[in-house]
Chain A
């Protein structure tokens, strides 16, 4: 495909990215998936994670997203995220604090529902920390 894929990453506060790119890897709620041009229409919710956008020049850029969904239509890929920011704005210190808060919540949780919710949160955040570390290791921004 010559013309590439149109991608838009939108957060409530602003339009984070609007570009034509080669491919995008998105953290869907049921696993990572990669979208390229002319993908079949598809919609999914997102989980906490990083979007990797490979531009037409072959360079990869990473964006952090939290909560929201991705909509692949004939026009392109639209990502509506409650929180979205370029990776360099992503603060690992904040993440550590959040992990700590989540772990405390897990320790406090009484009902099984609360417990499983907190557990999911903690593991999601820990996962994120690992992924962030990997990206830091392999990418130079």
Chain B
């Protein structure tokens, strides 16, 4: 049986833990708002880019001579997995669920006899994947010092990836990140970025755009070639923003849970503390009364 003092100490320690988790939850909530706003603000650009690219890419349909970023190298032997995770932990299953998806993907590719290379963005993913595939990680990018992710960071990753692609280091690139659905739901997602996956325009819009002759300056090919690298940057940027929002969402719900658990624990400890205190008082009273009776 722990003494009263022990119980008191434990209650105090759980209380201070609860204060910390509570504060972290509130910080995460505030940051989540900002991250969510950023993700929403970036959406129009990505959407318009997709639309323009789709209408341009339809020109190459069924033709050879499409740029390699669009058509691919024609092989799919070497795969590059870009795994974007958070810089910090304490966010529930956020980092590990992304890493797990990437790991499963890598295991599947390896069992098919393909070569896998991994580029990690964010320290946590690197830590997790390093344990299992220490030799597959070719590079790691960390944004520890950067407070808010801007387009410049996405462009940096994009440049790195394109340089590797230009050097013939891989055939297919897939990006792993957590898609932000809501505060309680973040879905780990794999997105193929090279060769580019172009969504087809369907319905009436497709007919309308294809009948109007477009003029291009300088030339259609030049524009497509200018656009494809940009598209990769945009996709990465979007993934990073989604990731940012997901991270804070996951952290918020993890910390909310922790705060609630701490509350329950304090309740239980307080109960046994009170019982014991009462027992001690009763014991002392009995001692006094029986002492008085003996006289």
Contacts and interface: CB of A to CB of B under 8 A. Distances in A.
A13 B218 CA distance: 27
Contacts of A25: none
Contact of B212 (A28, A41, A71, A78): A41
A119 interface: no
Interface stretch (A42-50, A51-59, A91-99): A42-50
Given A13-B150, A13-B151, A74-B208, A41 B214 contact: yes
B41 A80 contact: no
B24 interface: no
Interface stretch (B7-15, B45-53, B253-261): B45-53
A13 B215 contact: no
A80 B151 contact: no
B265 interface: no
Contacts of B29: none
B234 interface: yes
A130 B59 CA distance: 40
Contacts of B42: 12-14
A28 to B, nearest CB: 6
Contacts of B155: 82
A18 B42 CA distance: 15
Nearest to B234: A12
A96 to B, nearest CB: 20
Interface in A12-39: 12-15, 28-30
Q: Size class of B's contact patch?
A: 20 to 34
Contact of B48 (A10, A43, A45, A74): A10
A40 interface: yes
B209 interface: yes
Nearest to A78: B48
Given A29-B218, A30-B217, A82-B230, A12 B151 contact: yes
Contact of A73 (B44, B46, B150, B209): B209
B235 to A, nearest CB: 11
B215 A80 contact: no
Interface bracket on A? 20 to 34
Interface in B228-280: 230, 233-234, 237
Contacts of B52: 43, 69, 71, 78, 80
A42 B212 contact: no
A2 to B, nearest CB: 22
A78 to B, nearest CB: 6
A14 B41 CA distance: 5
B151 A43 contact: no
Interface string A75-94: 00010101100000000000
Contacts of B151: 11-13, 82-83
Contacts of A14: 41-42
Interface stretch (B125-133, B178-186, B219-227): B219-227
B222 A45 contact: yes
Nearest to B214: A41
Contact of A44 (B45, B48, B217, B237): B217
Given A13-B38, A69-B223, A74-B208, A41 B45 contact: no
A15 B41 CA distance: 7
B198 to A, nearest CB: 16
Interface string B181-200: 00000000000000000000
Contacts of B44: 8, 10, 15
Contacts of B226: 45, 69
Contacts of A43: 52, 214-217, 223
Interface string B25-64: 0000000000000100110111011001000000000000
5 contacts: A8-B44, A10-B48, A12-B46, A45-B217, A69-B226
